Amino acid sequence: MDTLEATIDTRPRHISPEEWAVRVDLAACYRLLAHFGWDDLILTHNSARVPGTTDQILINPMGLMFDEVTASNLLKVDLDGNLIEGSARPPFEFHIHSEIYRVRPDVHAVMHTHPRWSTFLTMTGAKYRAVYAQGALLGDDIPLVDSPLSVNTRPMGEKVAATLGRGPAVLLKSHGAVVVGSTLVECFALAAYLEENAYRQYMAMQIGDPYVFSEAEQQSFRERLWTPALFRKTWDHYHAKL
């Protein structure tokens, strides 16, 4: 059943309501990624910090198809990849998540996606430019990890985290994108804005040079649009399309 209801099953008694709510949203992300084509078979992965902890995260089990991920079968692991709860292995690129969480206490959700339009930009050397109001929330000229290799070691994860810096997103050359947020809803919304901006930028480039917002215009958009209400509205908008 390819619905959001499929992500929700009975809450085990040992899991707090706060953690369960995060699990349900995280499981829903997989339905959304698959529906909108931001996934790549079973190679995309998302995570969330376990509420009330600094060194535990929830992440999908390696090998599960997206419509098989539910709130209860998500893995709970520490930042070294050690299994705390679950019966499978975390994704090989687990280090993307662990190394960002180590250095960004403000981050509570990480999405690694393989979006089409954003990845096209990295394949050609074209820089991400803010051409769409919500796209300006990610800044102009998102940093790029100049390697298409899998981020399957701690040093590679550290490189991604260092390239990300204090920003909300980093692109991976010919590979995909990594977006972070203070909540899963914020993280998903920013990932959606990233891909929509890249799509508009790409299409405009087929005609000519797209208009790029000035720094003052970008700042204005960030001041007006960076709100939990907008992020929730974006989340609800995409949910409604499933």
- pLDDT of 2 strictly over 50: no
Q: Is the pTM of this model over 0.85?
A: yes
Answer for the pair 85, 145: CB distance below 8 angstroms, yes or no.
no
Helix H or strand E segment including 156: helix 154-164
pLDDT, tens digit, 9 for 90 and up, residues 182-201 = 999 999 999 999 999 999 99
Least confident of 57-61, 222-226, 236-240: 236-240
What single-letter amino acid sits at 165?
G
pLDDT, tens digit, 9 for 90 and up, residues 80-118 = 999 999 888 999 999 999 999 999 999 999 999 988 999
- pLDDT of 235 strictly over 60: yes
The two structure tokens encoding residue 187: 């993280």
Answer for the pair 161, 104: CB distance below 8 angstroms, yes or no.
yes
Answer for the pair 62, 91: CB distance below 8 angstroms, yes or no.
yes
